[in-house]
Amino acid sequence: MLATEQPSHETLYAALCEKDSAYEGLFFFGVKTTGIFCRPTCTAKKPKAEHVEYFSSTKDALAHGYRACRICRPMTLPGQTPPWLKALLDEIDGTPDLRLKAATLRSRGIDPARIRRWFQKHHGMSFQAYLRALRINRAFTQIKKNNRVTDAAFASGYESLSGFSEAFKNATGFSPSESKDKPLVSVTRIITPLGPMLAGATAEGLCLLEFTDRRMLETQIKILKKRLKAAFIPGKNPHWAALEIQLTEYFSGQRKAFDLPLVLPGTPFQRKAWQALQTIPYGETRSYQAQAAAIGQPKAVRAVAKANGDNRIAIVIPCHRVIGKDGKLTGYGGGLWRKQRLLDLEQKSQAF
């Protein structure tokens, strides 16, 4: 098993005191005086350091006799949709032009402020902005299928063409009539055992898959927007179902290779490096030097490392399998702890 320096107990205790979301999935902590275990971001009262035990998984915590906290719900995946919201989102998914005003939400027992906070935290936009984005995404798709702009506007729930055109341009940067020749990148959140990921796909294939807390995520999206000349809007995409199924199979140890169409805009060198990443066998690793040699440019070690960092499709294009020549883990946009977990998962699954 590859080793990486684990945070000290002092660091982990500081993380739980600060409710640091960067440590979500890295550890869980049990409180000896209550017999309860929590995730790092739990909002319950802070325990004393001497009363805390640390675990790498919920399974370990349960094996030591702890029971799950009812406040932070550590048995659910980080970022998972809470039960009070799931039914509403399922309804919205089936009816993308649905309009839900504050009074309607209250009549369903949902506090508008609560749902607004949840969407702001997990989607970076208000609930109403999310609903508008779904309608624009649907209209964009209809227009590209040679539907008239007017038909797409009214089918998406807009009562006036001018209002639709203004909303469309605000969301995409161009008018509805210009959209026929523009690509659309639909985006969605995918929940995984290592935290939520943001996925983006065109009609042709997947172009983005990154952990939502990656620091360079916004930069990667800007690069994709420029290279694809595309609008990024939350909404449906035919590739989501296969992506979710294959990620679930991967994390359960049942899938060793992905079979998804990919859209990889980049320089010839980047594309060559990304293709080489996909040749690293499951459960194995390769040094940056070996990776440079694999693409026929043994002296381009730094350039290969940079291309790895520019990879926008985590896990599917396994840049986590590249390590230092001394066997130590180095740079990973999703965090070294995730890189370690992915390698551990693959090595464990490979053993069976």
- ∠ CA 336-269-246, rounded to 5°: 50
Number of structural domains found in the chain: 4
Helix runs in the chain, H state only = 9-18, 58-63, 83-94, 102-107, 112-123, 127-144, 149-155, 161-172, 217-228, 240-251, 268-277, 288-294, 301-309, 336-350
Per-residue pLDDT tens over the stretch 177-219:
777 778 889 999 998 988 889 999 999 999 999 998 888 888 9
What's the rounded Cα separation, in Å, for the pair 310 and 320?
A: 12
What's the rounded Cα separation, in Å, for the pair 325 and 287?
A: 5
- Exposure pattern of 243-255 as b/e (b: 16+ CB <10 Å)? beebbeebbeeeb
Q: Which domain holds residue 267?
A: 257-350
What's the rounded Cα separation, in Å, for the pair 184 and 312?
A: 17
Does residue 135 share a domain with residue 116? yes
- Exposure pattern of 143-167 as b/e (b: 16+ CB <10 Å)? bbeeeebeebbbebbbeeeeebbeb
Strand partners, 190: 197
Strand partners, 173: none
Residue 293 inside a domain? The answer is yes
Q: Is the pLDDT of residue 4 over 70?
A: no
Does residue 228 share a domain with residue 285? no
Residue 298 inside a domain? The answer is yes
Residue 222 inside a domain? The answer is yes
Residue 1 inside a domain? The answer is no
Question: How high is the pLDDT of residue 352?
Answer: 56
Does residue 192 share a domain with residue 165? no
Nearest to 263 by CA among 173, 184, 180, 194: 184
Does residue 323 share a domain with residue 262? yes
Phi then psi for residue 264, to 5 deg, are -125, 70
Does residue 232 share a domain with residue 168? no
- Exposure pattern of 194-226 as b/e (b: 16+ CB <10 Å)? bbbbbbbbbeeebbbbbbbbbeebeebbeebee
Does residue 153 share a domain with residue 107? yes
Domain boundary among 125, 152, 173: 173
Question: How high is the pLDDT of residue 2?
Answer: 35
Residue 345 inside a domain? The answer is yes
Residues 6+ apart with CB under 8 A from 185: 200, 201, 202, 207, 208, 224, 225, 228, 230, 231, 232, 233
Per-residue pLDDT tens over the stretch 106-159:
988 889 899 998 888 878 888 888 888 888 888 888 887 767 788 777 777 776
What's the rounded Cα separation, in Å, for the pair 297 and 122?
A: 41
More confident residue, 175 or 279: 279
CATH of the domain at 36: 3.40.10.10
CATH of the domain at 297: 1.10.10.10
| Residue whose pair of structure tokens reads 């984005």 in the numeric block | 133
Residue 4 inside a domain? The answer is no
Does residue 326 share a domain with residue 264? yes
The set of catalytic residues is 319
Strand order in the sheet with 197-201: 206-211, 197-201, 184-190, 231-234
Over residues 258-277, the mean pLDDT reads: 95
Residue 178 inside a domain? The answer is no
Per-residue pLDDT tens over the stretch 271-320:
999 999 999 999 999 999 999 999 999 999 999 999 999 999 999 999 99
Computed over its alpha carbons, how large is the radius of gyration of the chain?
22
Tell me how far the alpha carbon of residue 184 is from its chain's centroid.
19
Per-residue pLDDT tens over the stretch 31-62:
999 999 999 999 989 999 999 999 988 888 99
Nearest to 58 by CA among 48, 43, 72: 72
Does residue 293 share a domain with residue 208? no
Nearest to 1 by CA among 289, 287, 352, 340: 340
Distance separating the N- and C-terminal Cα atoms of the chain? 15
Domain boundary among 173, 200, 222: 173
What's the rounded Cα separation, in Å, for the pair 155 and 10?
A: 57
Does residue 200 share a domain with residue 154? no
Over residues 328-345, the mean pLDDT reads: 86
CATH of the domain at 140: 1.10.10.60
Per-residue pLDDT tens over the stretch 62-96:
999 999 998 988 888 777 788 888 888 888 877 76
Domain boundary among 200, 218, 247: 247
Does residue 92 share a domain with residue 61? no
Nearest to 201 by CA among 220, 183, 226: 183
Does residue 168 share a domain with residue 189? no
